DNA sequence: AATAAAAAAGAACGCTTGATTGTTTCTTGA
DNA sequence: TCAAGAAACAATCAAGCGTTCTTTTTTATT
């Protein structure tokens, strides 16, 4: 057998891309074999090379395209909005919705950066920097205007993005809370964190050093029974 | 050659453990080969099997021990503190310091859960649930006492932990900000988020749906040049 | 109908992997 | 001093890996 009836290059390319996202999301880039990927699409492994140069480039294409999409859509959403608080809410809502609807892509882009070769990683990191820069600039402007209480915009940027991105570690469509509700809850946390009085933070807080921990007996009998894992949920 | 001079079982076991953490952190579990690991310790790959049952169990041992350590130390730190706000600050500070000093372990425990076989993953997830339960209970108590404005303690727990854990994606010892400063900044964000007036969050916020995004040209010439990557930093 | 291009099959490659086995050497306590 | 056993070596295995190359079949073009 050779060329199969009804076969079409563009369609196959898209199928490979989607299957790649799915398998990398499920098993990880290293763990996914090209034979697995080929089987998922209904091809022989050798035939994949009509559609990408090698395995590494498949990953790079997926991650780069995702990052460019993310950045472009964020900039589009923010366009025309000038008020820092409104921009912060817009950014937060955009980020959350995007991450709830494209969990696999986001997950891959965050987890598989280490699997990218140096040059490819540099490209992706640069895109991420630009994306982070959007939020950082919002925080800086808001601090300048006096509406935000942010001492370190860079740190706050990392903190906020980590928090928002974390939603795709546990969110599953059809859960108890709707996307809108989650956006409201998370955005509330972000806005409070940025606009808060800072009084609590400013109060000197004496933390126990990690070493000074005193041992304490833990109950050995009441550990929670693991429930059946929800499909595909990394957190489950 | 065979048994080497000065060889000692306990010491070798510890060396294997440490090398395992180091290599899994750097390359990922799937990407780390046992020959690599053996070479790192100065052994032949076959000798490793004196110290673990198989590769999977090595990962499991590392992750489980880390989770038990994390949980135990957190409970010890919180012991005796009853005020919700103080407990929240203590938890936040503990989590941050722990994650700044044990980045590799934390990273592995978060990233390689997917590489654990079902039974092992269930054990680790149960431990993580107990750990998350500590924070959730703090938030519930604080909400009950009226000092926190937290609508959904579970969601807030995930959000806060994501934010705090995110620090080990970029923190490197010897950076511009000290551990104490970072603890203060992050804890301030957490406390503000939890205690905040909630006014901003309660105000209905009309978010653009993701689909309604209008394309906008992006500048193609001003993208940031990627700097030389800091060693080992996943984010760099 | 003839021809070129596209799409996929399928075989083969060199290599690495995790795992296992049997053997040898060294250390240590009695 | 010497046996017991811990520690490490060396060799091997089948399986799977990413990749390349050639061949075959289908589709599109003229």
Tell me, what's the pLDDT at B12?
Answer: 81
CA-based nearest residue to B135, from B108, B96, B180, B183 = B96
Tell me, what's the pLDDT at A10?
Answer: 82
The answer to the question of residue B48 being in a domain is yes
- Give mean pLDDT, residues B168-189: 96
Same structural domain, B186 and B75: yes
Tell me, what's the pLDDT at B11?
Answer: 78
Same structural domain, A22 and A83: no
**Among A7-16, A39-48, A135-144, A182-191, the least confident range:** A7-16
- Residue A73 confidence (pLDDT) above 70: yes
Cβ within 8 Å, pair B205-A186:
no
Q: Please give the structure tokens belonging to residue A210.
A: 């990690």
A67 touches strand C (CB under 7 A): no
B8-55 per-position pLDDT tens digit: 667 788 889 999 999 999 999 999 999 999 999 988 888 889 899 899
Same structural domain, B187 and B80: yes
- Any idea which nucleotide's C1' is nearest the CA of B13? D7
B1 touches strand D (CB under 7 A): yes
Report the gap between the CA of A3 and the closest CA in chain B (Å).
Answer: 35
Q: How far apart are CA B192 and CA A173, in angstroms?
A: 29
In which band, very low, low, confident or very high, does the pLDDT at A222 lie, cut at 50, 70 and 90?
very low
Same structural domain, A39 and A155: no
B76-98 per-position pLDDT tens digit: 999 999 999 999 999 999 999 99
Cβ within 8 Å, pair A229-B71:
no
Tell me, what's the pLDDT at B50?
Answer: 87
Tell me, what's the pLDDT at B236?
Answer: 37
- Residue B206 confidence (pLDDT) above 70: no
Tell me, what's the pLDDT at A95?
Answer: 98
Which helix or strand (DSSP H or E) is residue B75 part of? helix B55-78
Tell me, what's the pLDDT at A70?
Answer: 98
CA of B49 to C1' of C4 (A): 59
**3-class secondary structure per residue, chain A:** CCCCCCCCHHHHHHHHHHHHHHHHHHHCCCCCCHHHHHHHHCCCHHHHHHCCCCHHHHHHHHHHHHHHHHHHHHHHHHCCCCCHHHHHHHHHHHHHHHHHHCHHHHHHHHHHHHHCCHHHHHHHHHHHHHHHHHHHHHHHHHHHHCCCCCCCHHHHHHHHHHHHHHHHHCCCCCCCCCHHHHHHHHHHHHHHHHHCCCHHHHCCCCCCCHHHCCCCCCCCCCCCCCCCCCCCCCCC
CA of B184 to C1' of C6 (A): 62
B213 touches strand D (CB under 7 A): no
Tell me, what's the pLDDT at A136?
Answer: 98
- Give mean pLDDT, residues B133-145: 97
- Any idea which nucleotide's C1' is nearest the CA of A32? D17
The residue among A103, A137, A192, A220 with the most chain B CBs within 10 A of its CB, best to mutate, is A192
Same structural domain, B33 and B146: no
User: Which structural domain range is residue B29 located in?
Assistant: 9-52
Mean pLDDT of chain B: 83
Q: How many domains does chain B have?
A: 2
Same structural domain, B29 and B102: no
Report the gap between the CA of B222 and the closest CA in chain A (Å).
Answer: 10
Mean pLDDT of chain A: 84
Same structural domain, A162 and A84: yes
Tell me, what's the pLDDT at B8?
Answer: 61
- A200: nearest CB among B111, B192, B197: B192
- Give mean pLDDT, residues A109-122: 95
In which band, very low, low, confident or very high, does the pLDDT at B129 lie, cut at 50, 70 and 90?
very high
- Give mean pLDDT, residues B188-210: 61
The answer to the question of residue A206 being in a domain is no
Q: How far is CA B75 from CA B26, B87, B227, in A?
A: 30, 11, 41
Sign of CA dihedral B28, B30, B32, B37: positive
In which band, very low, low, confident or very high, does the pLDDT at B167 lie, cut at 50, 70 and 90?
very high
Same structural domain, B119 and B154: yes
Measured between its terminal Cα atoms, the distance across chain B in Å is 43
- Residue A150 belongs to a domain with what CATH number? 1.10.357.10
- Give mean pLDDT, residues A85-113: 97
Nearest CA in chain A to B87: A207
CA of A141 to C1' of D24 (A): 64
- Give mean pLDDT, residues A58-67: 97
CA of B54 to C1' of C18 (A): 8
**What is the model's pTM?**
0.84
- A207: nearest CB among B93, B216, B236: B93
Tell me, what's the pLDDT at A11?
Answer: 86
Same structural domain, B18 and B96: no
In the block, which residue shows the tokens 């065979």? Answer: B2
The residue among B64, B71, B147, B162 with the most chain A CBs within 10 A of its CB, best to mutate, is B162
Tell me, what's the pLDDT at A35?
Answer: 95
The answer to the question of residue B150 being in a domain is yes
The answer to the question of residue B186 being in a domain is yes
Residues 23-42 of B with CB under 7 A from strand D: 42
**Among A60-69, A88-97, B191-200, the least confident range:** B191-200
* Residues on chain B touching A123 (C-beta within 8 angstroms): 226
Tell me, what's the pLDDT at B46?
Answer: 86
Same structural domain, A120 and A158: yes
* Residues on chain A touching B215 (C-beta within 8 angstroms): 72, 76
Q: How far apart are CA A92 and CA A80, in angstroms?
A: 16
Same structural domain, B66 and B43: no
In this complex, the residue with its CA at the shortest distance from the C1' of nucleotide D5 is: B3
A5 touches strand C (CB under 7 A): no
- Any idea which nucleotide's C1' is nearest the CA of A57? D18
In which band, very low, low, confident or very high, does the pLDDT at B6 lie, cut at 50, 70 and 90?
low
Q: Which strand D bases fall within 7 angstroms of a protein CB?
A: 5-11, 16-27
Name which residue leads in pLDDT, A9 or B176: B176
- Residue B233 confidence (pLDDT) above 60: no
- Residue A217 confidence (pLDDT) above 60: no
The answer to the question of residue B203 being in a domain is no
- Residue B18 belongs to a domain with what CATH number? 1.10.10.60
The answer to the question of residue B212 being in a domain is no
**For residue B186, what is the DSSP state?**
H
The answer to the question of residue A189 being in a domain is yes
Q: Which strand C bases fall within 7 angstroms of a protein CB?
A: 6-12, 16-28
Same structural domain, A75 and A161: yes
How many residue pairs from chains A and B have C-beta atoms closer than 8 A?
Answer: 250
Tell me, what's the pLDDT at A231?
Answer: 30
Cβ within 8 Å, pair B193-A196:
yes
Tell me, what's the pLDDT at A196?
Answer: 76
- B192: nearest CB among A180, A185, A192: A192
B4 touches strand C (CB under 7 A): yes
The answer to the question of residue A184 being in a domain is yes
E strands, B126-175, in order:
none
């Amino acid at each position: 057998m050779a060329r199969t009836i009804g076969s079409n290059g563009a369609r196959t390319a898209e199928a490979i891309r989607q299957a790649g996202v799915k398998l990398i999301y499920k098993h990880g880039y290293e763990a996914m074999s090209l034979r697995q990927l080929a089987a998922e699409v209904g091809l022989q492994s050798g035939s994949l090379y009509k559609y990408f140069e090698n395995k590494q480039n498949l990953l790079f294409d997926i991650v780069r395209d995702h990052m460019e999409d993310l950045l472009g859509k964020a900039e589009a959403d923010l366009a025309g909005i000038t008020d820092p608080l409104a921009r912060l809410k817009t950014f937060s809502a955009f980020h959350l919705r995007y991450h709830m609807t494209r969990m696999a892509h986001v997950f891959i882009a965050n987890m598989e950066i280490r699997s990218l070769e140096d040059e490819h990683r540099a490209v992706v990191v640069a895109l991420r920097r630009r994306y982070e820069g959007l939020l950082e600039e919002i925080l800086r402007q808001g601090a300048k205007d006096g509406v935000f209480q942010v001492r370190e915009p860079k740190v706050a940027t990392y903190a906020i993005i980590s928090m928002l991105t974390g939603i795709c570690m546990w969110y599953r469509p059809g859960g108890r809370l709707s996307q809108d509700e989650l956006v409201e809850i998370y955005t509330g946390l972000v806005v409070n964190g940025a606009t808060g009085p800072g009084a609590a933070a400013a109060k000197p807080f004496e933390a126990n050093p990690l070493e000074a921990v005193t041992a304490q007996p833990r109950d050995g009998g009441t550990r929670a029974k693991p429930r059946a894992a929800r499909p595909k949920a990394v957190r489950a």
